[in-house]
Amino acid sequence: MFNLGWAEIAMLVAVALLVFGPERLPKAAASAGRQLRQLRRLANSARDDLRSGLGPEFSNFDVGDLNPKNFVRRHLMEDDDDLRDFPQPAYAATYPADPDPELPPGVIPPFDPEAT
């Protein structure tokens, strides 16, 4: 989640020892743990209240779906089975499979002076 390695964790412990000192560090760590548990309980309570407030229609609702990255990934990047059922356009069969064939060595590509 935070992408911390062992070196970063050791540096944070050293800074905490310098800031709090060895006497107050256990109390500060216990207080931080309590606050983190309380914050986690608050977030879980808010999520449960949101689910109960939305009703049974949204029983499969996931709060993570509200993240814009997840929304884009879910609705735009995934294969959609509904789109496979649509027929292919008529013009798709008229174009060659490879519109830009590779030219053999030494052949000059065609040039259209009106197009440039």
Q: Indicate whether 68 belongs to any domain.
A: yes
Do the domain assignments include residue 37? yes
Instruction: Tell me the per-residue pLDDT of 8-17, one tens digit each, with 9 for 90 and over.
Output: 989 988 998 8
Residue 93 belongs to a domain: no
- How far apart CA 55 and CA 44 sit, in angstroms, is 17
So what's the pLDDT on residue 38?
97
Looking at residue 65, the DSSP 8-state letter turns out to be G
Distance CA 9, CA 110 (A): 62
Note whether residue 83 is domain-resident: no
Look up the domain containing 62 and give its range: 6-77
88 part of a folded domain: no
Total count of domains within the chain: 1
Q: Which pair of tokens denotes residue 36?
A: 């983190």
pTM over 0.75: no
Q: Which amino acid is at 87?
A: P
In a domain, 95, yes or no: no
82 within some domain = no
Q: What is the pLDDT of residue 30?
A: 93
Q: Output the furthest CA–CA distance in the chain (Å, rounded).
A: 83
